[in-house]
Structure 1
């Protein structure tokens, strides 16, 4: 008789799917897979060798990924999704995350950069991220982490310099978390987000805390801790609820947190909460002067809100609705002025939506469009690899040459 600890992965998937009261069809839709694929997995006919797929399943089932694995099994972490970024570069960033120059007795690093230069470097790093230039950013972050750590240690007076140095230090940890999450390194993303939260609390800065909470919530989603992500982003959004004298920055961070909370609720299949959170985010967006903005690097505004509504529909397994939102509710002119990362990410969302409804030709076109906007958003992300794999699998015969070429460049094969 097989003990619970020795149950095969497929049986564990079936058990938790039943516990969540999901039919095989609904479960398949949320994964972007076919019902036949789910049946084969649960019967043990099809294996689950890729850890990224296990993470997706755990996320849909709202459990820790370890609960799908036999006792004592130590899964391999995600590898870099693309040769554009090497394992060594990720290792350098991990080493930088492990440094603690702010421990008692530490001294400033030699060659300290002026605060103005650090400020400019952090701004450039945010722009690099929002242009989707992830290989450039992953190589720049180790030095930037060292520079901002040294700046916070060195600039003890005047007060405004102390505050700014701490703020910049926290922002760089947020950037590291955002990038690592994109690349599928969820444990490292959580570490960076936790550091960002610690710095924000030390600074006593409400806006910095809100920004950090958004990254912390997304890192928790990557680890399959969806309910915790929903809780922390909702609490942080409530804490920043704008009053009559709220700044545009406060409104933006508040709205950004509501969007992150809505995405977490969508992963839980909680449609009522998704609707309520988007309603509040719509009210926040209406308070922004002049529509779309990029205050506090959030990109929050009416257009980005609609992009999140399409993404939430995909998470809920409603690809048709995501496509309708894109066609009827997104102004192409307003979309065109958003940062390349946002636009390429939207193309990835559309590709996922088209794959859900079996329109693999349109899914391939969306991936190609996203690759033109910000190649790293498509080539470096595990989720993009999954969508491309679905496109190749569902395409009858040979895929179009441009799609086949992109798949080869991404390293995706059937």
Structure 2
């Protein structure tokens, strides 16, 4: 139906003026949020900052609430009062950089994945290599400081796996080397993703799939495709992730046993998340329902580190509702879950952050902050590394009441989280 425009009420001048007003209002809100965040992060009161900037506390209050746009001279004095360049209060995009610890971890992993492997040493015995890979996986899924611990181990393990793959060994030893490589590169994929190196995550997932296929191990092929689907999700290729996961799940349908069922279920869960992210919520929910009886049969199982079971299925059901914007339903489902039963600290923290996001969406910033603190107690490095935690912290700092925002700013400062 055609829209009828009143030629008197909607002249070009009034339309243009309305557009400028909207832009000015948005600029005022953006500047106010940044001023408030940096003031709280600096642990300074409005009275102190206003005094340093030579303005009244009431004027600063109106700036922070987006009611007034500061003049250029005021921006300059506010920048000096907060020890910031004035441009940071207008456009902070140039400051969105990875924290140093995350950047260093990514650089170390990049060197391990791309530099030639020294050929002057004998490969590690496969039994020892297998033990060390399993220990690294165990650390990753259980340690509160898993980033620091595992990032330091991966480089040498990658070197040893590549040596094992190139060694002139028997057929059986070759198969074991490929299995070890598939497991290690699966771990490398998730570490690379969490340290912000999706490029390396894709390379690791590709290597894991090739190694799994060379080993002839159908379960490892399924787990490798599960890893590859996660990388596609991280790159926002939701259709691709869904196709990879459902194709791999189909290939496992004829395999019997609880381990095959667990890998199958994990693949369907990833496909469910992919469907939710492309806004097909009903398909996503159907997939969760379809693997619920599978999970009750397998029990809590950690086949090839996929952590499938009733707890993980329930957690994914919450994720689907958060993706769909059904925050009340997400909160209701989350209350019934004993997240401590998951064998993976990654899944436990992810669940806490999903809950925090649902409260953030409901503008219940106090509850969101409580869950961020719970995630920090579970694994402080996860809160420091995960972009979702940064987004929630940023929202709480910028939009919560003064007391909650100040506490969130202290948390961000303690963990060196870039939330400005």
The corresponding residue for 1:318 is: 326
1:261 pairs with 2:266: no
CA deviations over 1:358-381 (Å, ceiling 9, x no partner)? 111000000100110111221111
* 44 and 240 in structure 1: CA distance in 2 versus 1, 3 angstrom threshold: farther
1:342 & 1:224 partners in 2: Cα distance?
Answer: 20
CA distance in 2, matches of 1:271, 1:357: 19
Partner Cα separation in structure 2 for residue 305 and residue 325 of structure 1? 11
1:123 equivalenced with 2:134 (yes/no): yes
The TM-score with structure 1 as length reference comes to 0.74
Q: Name the CA shift for 1:188/1:284 in 2 (closer, same or farther; >3 Å).
A: same
Counterpart for residue 30 of structure 1: none
Match of 1:139 among 138, 141, 152: 152
CA RMSD of aligned residues (A): 2.7
- Measure how far apart 1:141 and its partner are: 0.8
Among candidates 396, 401, 406, match of residue 396 of structure 1 = 401
The 3 A distance-change label for structure 1 pair 303 and 77 is farther
Aligned 8 A contact 1:108 1:154 in 2: no
Measured after TM superposition, the shift of residue 209 of structure 1 is 1.0
Indicate yes or no: 2:96 matched with 1:91.
no
Q: Is the 8 A contact 1:242 1:251 kept in 2?
A: no
Task: Answer whether contact 1:388 1:412 (CA < 8 A) is retained.
Answer: no
Q: Does 1:180 align with 2:185?
A: no
Cα distance in 1 for partners of 2:285, 2:211 equals: 33
Residue of structure 2 equivalent to 1:197: 209
Cα distance in 1 for residues equivalent to 2:153 and 2:179: 18
Residues of 1 paired with 2:350 and 2:189: CA distance? 17
Distance change >3 Å, CA 323–CA 40, structure 1 → 2: farther
* Distance 1:255-1:200 versus aligned 2 partners, 3 A rule: same
The 1:400/1:97 distance shift into structure 2, 3 A limit, reads same
By relative contact order (CA 8 Å, sep 6+), the higher-ranking structure is 1
Counterpart of 1:276 in structure 2 is 286
Q: What displacement does 1:324 show?
A: 0.7
Cα deviation, 1:209-268, whole Å, max 9, x if unaligned, reads: 11111111110111121110111001001111155xx12211111111111111111111
Task: Give the Cα–Cα distance (whole angstroms) in 2 for the partners of residues 379 and 342 of structure 1.
Answer: 16
Report how far residue 111 of structure 1 moved.
Answer: 4.1
Structure 1 alignment gaps of length 5 or more: 1-38, 48-74, 102-106
Hey, what's the Cα distance between the residues in 2 that align with 1:200 and 1:299? Answer: 19
C-alpha change, 1:351 and 1:112, in structure 2 (3 Å) is: same
Structure 1 residues 98 and 79: alpha-carbon distance in aligned structure 2, compared to 1, 3 A threshold? farther
The Cα shift of 1:345 comes to: 1.6
Deviation at 1:412, TM superposition (A): 3.6
Aligned match for 2:297, one of 287, 294, 306: 287
Structure 1 residue 283: deviation in Å? Answer: 2.9
In structure 1, distance between residues paired with 2:294 and 2:121: 45
Distance 1:261 1:77, change over 3 A: farther
Check if 1:308 corresponds to 2:316: yes
Question: For residues 21-64 of structure 1, what are the alpha-carbon distances to aligned partners after superposition, in whole Å with 9 as ceiling and x for unaligned?
Answer: xxxxxxxxxxxxxxxxxx869x99999xxxxxxxxxxxxxxxxx
Counterpart residue number, 2:83? none
Supply the distance in 1 between the matched residues of 2:161 and 2:379 (Cα, whole angstroms): 27
**Aligned equivalents of 1:359, 1:215: Cα separation in 2:** 34
Pick the aligned partner of 2:239 from 214, 217, 227.
227
Instruction: Tell me if structure 1 keeps the 8 A contact 2:307–2:342.
Output: no
Residue 361 of structure 2: aligned partner: 356
**Residue 242 and residue 166 in structure 1: after superposition, are their counterparts in 2 closer, same or farther (change >3 A)?**
same
**1:214 and 2:219 are equivalent in the alignment:** no
- Find out whether 1:250 has 2:260 as its counterpart: yes
Q: CA deviation at 1:325?
A: 0.6
Q: Which range moved further: 387-396 or 279-288?
A: 279-288
1:261 and 1:337, CA in 2 relative to 1: closer, same or farther beyond 3 A?
closer
C-alpha distance after superposition, 1:74-101 (max 9, x if no partner): x999853x44x24233212112212465
Provide the C-alpha distance between the structure 1 equivalents of 2:402 and 2:316, rounded to a whole number of angstroms.
Answer: 34
Give CA-to-partner distance per residue, 1:254-290, whole Å, 9 cap, x none.
Answer: 11111111111111111121022112221321331xx
Residues 401, 77 of structure 1: alpha-carbon distance in 2 compared, 3 angstrom cutoff: closer
Q: 1:78, 1:184 within 8 Å by CA — same for their partners in 2?
A: no
Describe how 1:91-110 pairs up with structure 2 within 5 A: 91-99=107-115, 110=121
Alignment check: 8 A CA contact 1:177 1:188 kept? yes
Structure 1 residues 208 and 408: alpha-carbon distance in aligned structure 2, compared to 1, 3 A threshold: same
Give the whole-Å Cα distance in 2 for the aligned partners of 1:117 and 1:130: 20
